[in-house]
Structure formats: structure tokens, C-alpha cells
Amino acid sequence: MDSRLQKFVNIDPVTGCWNWTGSTDSKGYGKIRVNKKLYAAHRYSYMVAKGDLGNLQACHICDNKLCVNPDHLFAGTQSANMYDMHLKGRHTILFPLTGARNHKTKLTVEQVLAIRAAVADGESMYSQAKKYRVRHYAIEGIIRRRTWKDVP
């Protein structure tokens, strides 16, 4: 381990994470200054152990922002990192939770079923939007199954 990293690392014997104890940025990632250049601590640790990342990111396998253990890091694109976060259930911006799993939903499963039935019977999406006090785009998403995909 690089001596600049070593003085700011606390190794967790259970997880194997090398937890950064130095300064952090507003998102909770460690920061380290080397030769007047500021690095994300995990990125710097990866570069010391495994080489230059180029345009790639140092992504955490362990999902611990403070971990700088190079064995817990992999090189990946922003898209790959976002997808990894989604698969682990940690991020919903690119892959939002839909339907009943979304804590911000205004509708229930029963209402979604009623909306689908009403539109199938000829009612307009606009009338359903007004009835349930949502935008007509929300109703369109339900009908076209872009949202509430888990409801039959």
C-alpha cells in the first residue's frame, strides 16, 4: 500500500475494506492530494495498484464509498457503474422503481387495474387522469405498460 494512502486507512477485518479516514467530498468519497493534484482516494489507490484508468472509473465491488482496497475496485464506464448500482438495488435514477415499488406513487394496484379496464372499455386517458388526479402521461404509461409493468 502506498504510504500516502496508508496513513489514512483503517482496515476492516470483517469486510476487508480499507476504509478511508482522510478528507471526503460532498458525496462521501475520500479525497487525496498527490503532487498538487486532487484525486478520489479510491481512484488513486486503484492507479497505484493496477495502473492508469484512462477515461474509466474506479468502481466499488463492495459498495463502500470509503473503501480504497484495490481488490474491491474494478475499472468500468459510467454506464457500467450505474448498471451495477441498479442490479444491487442502490440506485433508481436510470432505472426507476415503477408501480407499487415506487414510494412516490399516487396510485394503488387496484386503481391501475381499474384504469386499464376503463380505457379498454372506451374511456379516454384524459378522463382517467382527471379522475385520479394525475397527468395524462401517467395514464398513458400505465396503458402502454411503461409503468406498472408488474401489474397484469
The full DSSP string for 103-125 is: TT----HHHHHHHHHHHHTT--H
- The list of the chain residues with pLDDT below 70 reads 89-104
Q: Which residues face 11 on adjacent strands?
A: 18
The whole-number pLDDT of residue 62 equals: 87
Whole-prediction pTM: 0.58
Query: Can you give the pLDDT at residue 88?
Result: 73
Q: What is the predicted pLDDT for the residue at 94? A: 46
pLDDT of residue 36: 93
Give Cβ neighbours of residue 152 (< 8 Å, ≥ 6 apart).
Answer: none
Give me the pLDDT at residue 80, please.
85
Give the max Cα distance, the chain.
71
Rounded distance, CA 68 to CA 70, Å? 6
Q: Where are the alpha helices (DSSP H) in the chain?
A: 3-6, 41-50, 78-87, 109-120, 125-132, 136-143
Residue type, 59: C
Angle between helices 109-120 and 136-143 (to 10 degrees): 80
Beta bridge partners of 19: 10, 67
